Structure 1
Amino acid sequence: MHGYRLMIPFAVLLFLLLFLSDSALAQRSVGSQQKWQQAVSGAEKEGRVVVFGPPGDIVRTAITQGFRKAFPKVTIEYTGGRGGELATRLKAEMDAGLHNVDVFLTGTSTAVVYLPKQALGLIPPALILPEVADPKHWRDNRLLYSDSTTPDNLIFVNHLSPLIVYNLDQVKPGDVDGLHSLLEPKWKGKIVLNDPLPSGAAHFHFRWIWELLGPDKAKDYYRKLREQAGAVDRDQRRQIEWVAQGKYAVLVAPSGGVLAQLLQRGLKVGVLGEFKDVGGWSTASFGSLVLLNRAPRPAAAAVFTNWLLAKEGQTAWSQALYHMSRRVDVPTDHLPPYVIPQTGGGYWSKDPKPGDKYWLSDLAENPNRTPEEEGILKQLFGR
C-alpha cells in the first residue's frame, strides 16, 4: 500500500518532467522558427548576399542555383577565385573603409594568414536552424572551428587532400606511392610542383612535410624535390592539364577543388591521396566559412549560412567539389576514394605517434610557417 502511494507522486513527477521537457523543446522550436522567419524577411528586404568562394563554374552553378531556388527573393552575387587572391582583395577593400562582402568560403589558412582577427564575425549567433546549430548533425557530435577559443572560422568539410596527380600512361601507382619515391633519378625533370609560397594546397603540403620530418630532414627533402622539378607553377588548372597531356609525369600538391572539377569534366589522371609509408594530411580545402565583421547584409548572410550548412546546401557543395562534408547525413557514395581516410587511421597535429596517419592541417596552430621554414622556401621558390 505504501509502495502504491509512493508511486503516484513519482509518476506525477515523471509526467511533469517529460511535459516540461517537451514544452521547452516546443518553445525552442517555435523560437527558432520565429527567428528564422525574421531572418528570411530581413534578407528579402536587404535584397542580396555577396559571397566570395572557390573558383570554377561547377561550384558557382551549384551554389547560386541552389540558393536562388530556395530563396528566389534574395539575389546571390558569387565571386570565385584563389583564396589568397580574394583575401588580399578583401583586406584592401576593408582597409579603404569598403565593406561589400558578406560571406567568405575559403581555406582555414587563408583567414588566419591574410585577414586580421577583428575582421571576422562570430558565427554561432547566425546559426538559426536546429538542423544546423545542433551538434548531433555533425561528425564527432560537434561543430568544428579552426580556433577552439574563438568561433569565427567554421570548418564544414574534412577529408584527405590529394598528394599527387600522375599521368596514367607514364606512371604506375606503385612507382610513386612513397614520400621519397619522387626523389628517384627517373623522375628528374618530369615533375611539376604547385608553388608552395602562396596560400593553398602546396602551402599545407610543404607544412605537412616540415612537421612530419622535422626541420633538418624537411629542408633536405625540399632541396632534392626542387632539383627534381621541371617546373614550378601557380596556375592550378594548367598544371593538372599538363600532367593529363603528358607534358609532365607527376604534379605534387594539386588543388583538390580544381582537380575535382576537372575530373567531373572527364579529365583522365591518376590521383594518390596518401603515401603508404607516411600517410597524408586532412583538409577543409575551400570548406570553411567566415562571416565578415561589419557585413552590410547580416540577415542575408545568416540565411545563406544556414542554407549552405543544412543538408541541401552541403550535398550540393559536396557533389560540386568532391568534398567530404562534416554533416553526418550527407552521402559519400559520389566521392572519389582518394579523399576518404582509411578506417582506424590516427590523426595528429604535432609529433606523430605510431599509428598516426593523417596530419590535421586546419587547426589554428598549423597554417603558419616557422621563420626557418619560410626562409628555405623563399630561397628555393622565390621569384
Structure 2
Amino acid sequence: MYNIDQADTKTKRMGLVPRLLLGALLAGMGFTVNAAAAGAAFGGAGLIAAAEKEGKLVLYTANQLESEQDLVAAFNKRFPNVKVEIVRAPGSRLATRIETEVAANKLTADVIDMSDRGLVASFQEVFADYAPPNANLYPAKTKDLKNLWPKTSWGFVIAYNVPSGVEPPKSWKDLADSKYEGKVGIVVANSGGSTWTRAMFERQELGEDYWARLAANKPVLYPSGAPAASGIVRGEVLLGGVQSNAVIPSIKKGSPLKVVYPPEGIPVTTSVAGVVKTAAHPNAARLYMNWVLSQEGQSAWVTQGGGFSVLEGAPQPDGASASTKLWIPDAKEYIALRTQWISDWDKTFNHK
C-alpha cells in the first residue's frame, strides 16, 4: 500500500516536488490524503477490501437496540457494503445464550459487546487477539480484560418531565428528598452492568445510607432503562436516574424531558467488546470494531446515541461540559462487590 507519511517525508527531504503535484499524483493513483488517512484509522485498505468481500457481521450486544441501530447506521454511511446483523438481549440473558452456544460449538457472533464485566469473565476465552489502531488513546482503567475494548459507554443522568411542572433536581442526593416521594423512577440494580455501576456509585460516593433514604421515598422500580425512560415521558413517574442513551436521543426527537448532569458525578459503564475467535466474518468484525473505537465512531455514539466516551478527545453529550465529572468503577471492586451489594440493594428496596 502506498504510504502517505513516507511520501510527505520524501517531499520535505527533497524540497523539489510541489505538494499540489504530489496530490495530483496520488489522485491519479486512486488515492487522496484524506481517504488514505481514514483507511489507516480503520485498519487499512486491505482490511476494508476483505471486510467488504465478507459483506456482513453478526453483533451480539446488551446495548439498547435503538442506540445500536443508530450506531450501525453511522457505520454504514462510511462502509455501506458491510451489513451488521444485530442480536440484542439484556446482559444476563445474552451471557446465557453465549455460554449455551459455546458449549454446543455453535457460537454465531462475530463481535460480542457486553455491559457487565463480571458476566464476560465466564466466557473470556472466546475472544481473539485484537487491539484497535488507536489503542493508546484509551485509559488503562478500561483495559483490564485482555482483547476487550470500551466500544460504548453509558452514563447515568437524571431526567425529569418538564410539562409536569416538577421542580428540577440539582443532584443525586435530591432524589431522596421527601418532596419527590412516589415520583421517582429507578432501574433495579441487577438489570445489567450499567445499573450495577450506578448502585455501586451511590453507595461509595453518596453514602452508606443513601439507598435507605432513597427507598424511603417509595420509588417506582423498573426492569431496565428503556421502560424507566418511557415511564418518565408518560408521567408514571416525574423524574429519575436513567442511562443518557435512553433519553438524549428521544429528547432530540421531541420528548418532553430535560437532563441534569449531577455535580457528584456521572456513573459510567464502559462496555467490553471484542472479536470472536471463531468469527465467520473476522475482517468485517475487525473493521467494525476499528471504526466504532475510532474518533469518528465514538463521536457518532455520543452525538447520535446520547452516550459517553472515554476516548481521549471525544466529545461530550448535549448539555454536558468539560467540568462534567465521569465516575468509572474500580474493575476489581466491580466484580468482587457485585453479588453481595446487589443482594443488599434488593433487600433495601424490597425487590425480588
**Which bin holds the TM-score, normalised by the shorter protein?**
0.7 to 0.9
Name the SS of the counterpart of 2:290 in structure 1.
Answer: helix
Q: Which of the residues 247, 255, 258 maps onto 2:246? A: 258
Name the SS of the counterpart of 2:211 in structure 1.
Answer: helix
Q: Flag the 1:106–1:179 CA change in 2: closer, same or farther, 3 A.
A: same
Name the SS of the counterpart of 1:293 in structure 2.
Answer: coil
Q: Which of the residues 257, 269, 275 maps onto 2:257? A: 269
1:163: how far off?
A: 3.4
Q: Which of the residues 119, 130, 135 maps onto 2:126? A: 119
Q: Which of the residues 191, 215, 227 maps onto 1:226? A: 215
- Asked if 2 retains the 8 angstrom alpha-carbon contact of 1:50 and 1:100, the reply is yes
Q: Which of the residues 272, 280, 283 maps onto 2:268? A: 283
The total of aligned residue pairs comes to: 314
Larger Cα-atom Rg: 1
Show the counterpart of 1:190: 183
Show the counterpart of 1:4: none
Q: Identity across aligned pairs (percent)?
A: 18
- Asked if 2 retains the 8 angstrom alpha-carbon contact of 1:163 and 1:273, the reply is yes
The C-alpha deviation readout for 1:253-311, integer Å capped at 9, x for no partner, is: 31222122322221112322214xxx1134245x5532223323221211212222334
Q: Give matches, 1:69-88, under 5 Å.
A: 69-88=77-96
Aligned equivalents of 1:260 and 1:85: distance in 2?
A: 26
1:207: how far off?
A: 0.3
Name the SS of the counterpart of 2:331 in structure 1.
Answer: coil
The C-alpha deviation readout for 1:220-259, integer Å capped at 9, x for no partner, is: 33233223224211142232222233222222x3122212
Name the SS of the counterpart of 1:155 in structure 2.
Answer: coil
> Structure 2: which 5+ residue stretches go unaligned?
1-8, 14-35
The one-letter code of the counterpart of 1:373 is W
> What TM-score, normalized by structure 1, do the two folds share?
0.69
Aligned equivalents of 1:367 and 1:239: distance in 2?
A: 24
Q: Flag the 1:56–1:147 CA change in 2: closer, same or farther, 3 A.
A: closer
Q: Give matches, 1:147-226, under 5 Å.
A: 148=143, 150-156=145-151, 161-168=155-162, 169-173=164-168, 176-212=169-205, 217-218=207-208, 220-226=209-215
The RMSD of aligned alpha carbons is 3.4
Q: Which of the residues 209, 216, 239 maps onto 2:228? A: 239
Show the counterpart of 1:26: none
1:321: how far off?
A: 0.9
Q: Which of the residues 303, 309, 313 maps onto 1:319? A: 303
> What TM-score, normalized by structure 2, do the two folds share?
0.75
Q: Flag the 1:328–1:197 CA change in 2: closer, same or farther, 3 A.
A: closer
1:364: how far off?
A: 2.0
The one-letter code of the counterpart of 1:121 is A
Aligned equivalents of 1:71 and 1:294: distance in 2?
A: 23
- Asked if 2 retains the 8 angstrom alpha-carbon contact of 1:192 and 1:229, the reply is no
Show the counterpart of 1:377: 345
